Amino acid sequence: MKLAQIGAFAASLAMSSLALAEGGGDRTFERMMTANDRSVELFVAREKAAGNPVVVTEKKDEKTRDL
């Protein structure tokens, strides 16, 4: 009985450490944002080369602030 309790305790510790481990979500998000920034830069460069005006705004006005 004592061996079963020790085994159950060890298994619960192993499961909790796996559940709390970092899955790399921060690195994945960073790569996603970098790829997005790069694609926007390429889009703006392509549109400027084609002669089309491109409006890029960093700030939102009063109506779109909550969006």
Q: What would the pLDDT profile of 5-52 be if each residue is shown by its tens digit?
A: 888 888 887 776 666 556 677 788 889 999 999 998 998 888 888 777
Q: What is the pLDDT of residue 23?
A: 64
Residue type, 39: S
Assigned domain for 60 exists:
no
Assigned domain for 66 exists:
no
Q: Which comes out higher in pLDDT, residue 51 or 53? A: 51
Assigned domain for 64 exists:
no
Q: Is it the case that residue 67 has pLDDT exceeding 60?
A: no
Long-range contacts of 55-61 (CB under 8 A, 24+ apart): none
Name the pLDDT band for 65 (thresholds 50, 70, 90). low
Assigned domain for 42 exists:
yes
Assigned domain for 9 exists:
no
What's the structural domain count of the chain?
1
Q: Which comes out higher in pLDDT, residue 57 or 47? A: 47
Assigned domain for 4 exists:
no
Q: Taking the model in full, what pTM does it have?
A: 0.45
